[in-house]
Amino acid sequence: MMRVLGLETTCDETSAAIVMMRPGAGGEILANEVLSQIAEHAAYGGVVPEIAARAHVDVLDRLIRRALDTSGMKLKDIDGIAAAAGPGLVGGVIVGLTAGKSLALALRKPFLAINHLEGHALTARLTDGVAFPYLLLLVSGGHTQLLAVRGVGDYVRLGTTLDDAIGEAFDKIAKMLGLPYPGGPMVEKAALNGNPERFNLPRPMMGRANADFSLSGLKTAVRIEAEKHAPLSRQDVADLCASFQAAIVDVIADRVRMALRAFHEQIGPPTALVIAGGVAANGAIRRAMSRFANEVGLHLVVPSPALCTDNGAMIAWAGIERLGLGLIDDLTFAPRPRWPLDVHAAPSLNGKA
Ligand code: KG4
Ligand code: ZN
């Protein structure tokens, strides 16, 4: 039996979680305390790094204590301390990393420096016991990637975004249309009452042989339509949201199809298609992926929204996987604001992992 404490502070969620692994029985989340900073950042329409770092400092200790209480564990019962060491906002990363190292030092327990993206990537193994290798669509506010997950620490990037992340595009469209932050869920909600065919928006990259994304042209097209029809009625906003979402869904389906093709060529058949990251909460995207998986006969795994957005359980689980393989880190491990999962892939053009 193995129990690991996981700390997440790379963006605007502070989280401490305890996950247990029983050999043969898989993982079990004993506590997953998450505090979102949405309220602190809402007035600025986006995450303010300085505010985020301070908020992490303010609440992390309390969340660790709460995770211990919820799980009924004492610190001495913990077998390892895992902290997200990047990629992300460096001020926040330092907070979680320092807390994790200090606990590991004081308790004389193994320390595990976790790549935040690996946390997202391995979550499907915690929730559904998915076997390697699988195709991962990672879509959040900071990341948009298609990855072949071959093993712990073994990733091949099949596609990435050349500009904005998909969640970022949702957030920017929302801001443009006067919807509150964070925009993704608001755009989805507005789209429910909209006509997806009213605006004929571009589907950037569709039909290209690679599996990359580009969102800036689509974003600009929405801006042009919004300006053309200003002042926007409620219906205009709904129609723009619906049309934008329909374009995104088409693009994702096409890009995933390309990535699957590359997966078969480079690696062989995947065991599953996994979606992770905050954007995976989007119903239209989920439905499209479900249709696609059915069509190609692939098992689709989408962790619950609480485990798709940033959380400590995914960091603890990645810690368990690494600890099980003896991949322990040194207490000198430095924060990595940029930290690609696929070390052989060319640096992404948007400067994010
Ligand atoms: O994974 P996450 O919580 O944080 C990181 O970015 O790492 O993802 C948050 C992103 C935001 O951009 C948010 O607008 C987007 O996920 N999002 C959605 C939906 N819910 C969250 N985008 C589209 N539709 C949604 N329902
Ligand atoms: Zn994330």
For the cut 60, the answer to whether the pLDDT of residue 353 exceeds it is no
Q: What digits encode the pLDDT tens for the residues 109-159?
A: 999 999 999 999 999 999 999 999 999 999 999 899 999 999 999 999 999
303 pLDDT tier (thresholds 50, 70, 90): very high
- The predicted pLDDT at position 348 comes to 64
Q: What is the DSSP letter of 275?
A: E
For the cut 90, the answer to whether the pLDDT of residue 2 exceeds it is yes
For the cut 70, the answer to whether the pLDDT of residue 319 exceeds it is yes
Protein residues with CB under 6 Å of any ligand 1 atom: 11, 140-142, 167-168, 170-171, 182-185, 188, 277-279, 281-282, 309-310
Question: What gap in Å lies between CA 230 and CA 245, rounded to an integer?
Answer: 20
The stretch 289-301 carries a mean pLDDT of 98
Inter-residue contact 138 to 123 (CB < 8 Å): no
Instruction: Write down the CATH number for the domain with range 132-304.
Output: 3.30.420.40
- The predicted pLDDT at position 44 comes to 80
Q: Strand pairing of 26-36 and 13-22?
A: antiparallel
Question: What gap in Å lies between CA 158 and CA 89, rounded to an integer?
Answer: 25
- The predicted pLDDT at position 345 comes to 84
Of all ligands present, the nearest one to the C-alpha of 119 is 2
What class, spelled out in words, does domain 2-125+306-324 have in CATH?
Answer: alpha beta
The stretch 8-20 carries a mean pLDDT of 95
Q: Which atom of ligand 1 is nearest to the CA of 168?
A: 12
Q: How far is the CA of 11 from the centre of ligand 2 (A)?
A: 8
Q: What digits encode the pLDDT tens for the residues 22-31?
A: 988 889 999 9
- The predicted pLDDT at position 50 comes to 83
Q: What is the mean pLDDT of the chain?
A: 95
Q: How far is the CA of 346 from the centre of ligand 1 (A)?
A: 25
The stretch 167-189 carries a mean pLDDT of 94
Q: Which atom of ligand 1 is nearest to the CA of 142?
A: 6
Question: What gap in Å lies between CA 111 and CA 134, rounded to an integer?
Answer: 27
Angle, helices 166-176/234-266, rounded to nearest 10 degrees: 170
Inter-residue contact 55 to 89 (CB < 8 Å): no
> E-assigned strands of 236-281?
273-276
Least confident of 42-51, 87-96, 337-346: 42-51
- The predicted pLDDT at position 229 comes to 97
Q: What digits encode the pLDDT tens for the residues 182-193?
A: 899 999 999 999
Q: Which atom of ligand 1 is nearest to the CA of 308?
A: 1
The stretch 214-239 carries a mean pLDDT of 97
Q: What digits encode the pLDDT tens for the residues 250-268?
A: 999 999 999 999 999 999 9
- The predicted pLDDT at position 40 comes to 83
For the cut 60, the answer to whether the pLDDT of residue 4 exceeds it is yes
Q: What percent of the chain has pLDDT over 70?
A: 98
Q: How far is the CA of 78 from the centre of ligand 1 (A)?
A: 31
- The predicted pLDDT at position 48 comes to 84
Inter-residue contact 226 to 157 (CB < 8 Å): no
- The predicted pLDDT at position 39 comes to 81
Domain with CATH 3.30.420.40 in the chain: 2-125+306-324, 132-304
> For a pocket test of ligand 1, which of 13, 136, 170 has the largest count of ligand atoms closer than 8 A to its C-beta?
170
- The predicted pLDDT at position 350 comes to 59
The stretch 64-69 carries a mean pLDDT of 98
Q: Strand pairing of 144-151 and 134-139?
A: antiparallel
Helix (H, G, I), strand (E, B) or coil at 285: helix
- The predicted pLDDT at position 116 comes to 96
